[in-house]
Amino acid sequence: MAAVMTQTQCVSSDDTLSPGSVLKLGSPPHDAESMGLEALLKGATSVFDIAPETALLLICNNIEKLVAHFETLPASTSSYPNSNGSTPMEPQTPTEEEPPMRSVGLHCGDTEDGNGDRSEEDTFQLRMLSRKFLSKNIPPIALKDYLQRLHRYCPMSTAVLLAASVYITRMAFVEKVVRPSPKNMHRLVLAGLLVATKALEDLSFPHSRVAKVGGVSEQELSKLEVAFCFLADFDLRVDARMLMDEARIHCTGHLQLSETDFLEEKSG
């Protein structure tokens, strides 16, 4: 059951030092949004020149573009069944009811056949994992406000924010295992940031703190973390060039619409 969370509940302000906050090299101006994301990156030659606040705007912009793109596509009745998860930040948390599932062994690695198609069992497994991110209702908090809340009480580095963006984009366009929507984007971002922090930083905030700030229970957060790792096939490697490319791609307004486009942008 998710933790009941309201805007007035928060973590004390005297304990907000981030393990990766030393990477922060400055903040964008207060009128950053009116300037445009491309203007914010002007003069930045590496990911280390990008402030975390700018990276936050970039990941928010990217996820919202992903959601808008997938909303224009026909919904697949077989890929995304009815939601069963609780809603982050909702005033009253309904009891989570897990649907009946047959036993499926979790595994990672190359599970495709010679034609590049997944087996029926693998498809079922990934579908059930993707359901973990669906909320019963659209969360009442905007994604930008949600990200700012997370960053305020669990500050994150530029690398963590951009890496989470890389993971989610890859899962949506390359692996095709998630379909970003208003009902799952908050939980995808929460899990992505937690996984990216553990993958890139030497220290991370305790689950109890992240869960409270994110508006879910510790048990639910752990489930999201595990599901995210399996959906990402545990491919969490990123480097400075990949992160800088991610920043530049998502400040131009361009959205990769295929696996080929995505891979070409990353390799070019």
Please say whether the beta carbons of 156 and 76 come within 8 A.
no
Specify the pLDDT at position 14.
41
Please say whether the beta carbons of 2 and 96 come within 8 A.
yes
Answer whether residue 131 is part of any domain. yes
Total domain count for the chain? Answer: 1
Position with higher pLDDT, 146 vs 116: 146
pTM: 0.72
Average pLDDT on 219-246 reads 93
Query: pLDDT tens, 64-94?
Result: 999 999 988 776 544 444 445 566 765 433 3
3-state secondary structure of 135: strand
Position with higher pLDDT, 237 vs 46: 237
Answer whether residue 166 is part of any domain. yes
Residue 201's domain comprises 51-72+120-268
3-state secondary structure of 248: helix
Specify the pLDDT at position 23.
33
Specify the pLDDT at position 72.
85
Answer whether residue 30 is part of any domain. no
Answer whether residue 97 is part of any domain. no
The CATH number assigned to the domain holding 196 equals 1.10.472.10
Answer whether residue 94 is part of any domain. no
Query: pLDDT tens, 14-62?
Result: 444 444 333 333 444 444 454 566 677 776 888 888 899 999 999 999 9
**Dihedral pair phi/psi, residue 135, rounded to 5°:** -90, 155
Please choose, from the candidates 162, 154, 139, the residue with its C-alpha nearest in 3D space to the C-alpha of residue 56: 162
**Dihedral pair phi/psi, residue 118, rounded to 5°:** -80, 155
| Max Cα distance, the chain (Å) | 55
Specify the pLDDT at position 62.
92
Specify the pLDDT at position 13.
40
* Amino acid identity, position 89: M
Answer whether residue 95 is part of any domain. no
Answer whether residue 148 is part of any domain. yes
Average pLDDT of the chain? Answer: 74
Position with higher pLDDT, 250 vs 91: 250
Answer whether residue 98 is part of any domain. no
Percent pLDDT > 70 in the chain is: 62
Lowest mean pLDDT among 50-59, 111-120, 129-138, 154-163: 111-120
Helix (H) or strand (E) holding 213: helix 207-214
Q: How many CB atoms lie within 10 A of CB 141?
A: 19
Position with higher pLDDT, 42 vs 131: 131
Handedness of CA 97, 2, 134, 243 (dihedral sign): negative
Q: What is the CA radius of gyration of the chain?
A: 18
Alpha helices in 41-157 (DSSP H): 52-71, 120-131, 143-153
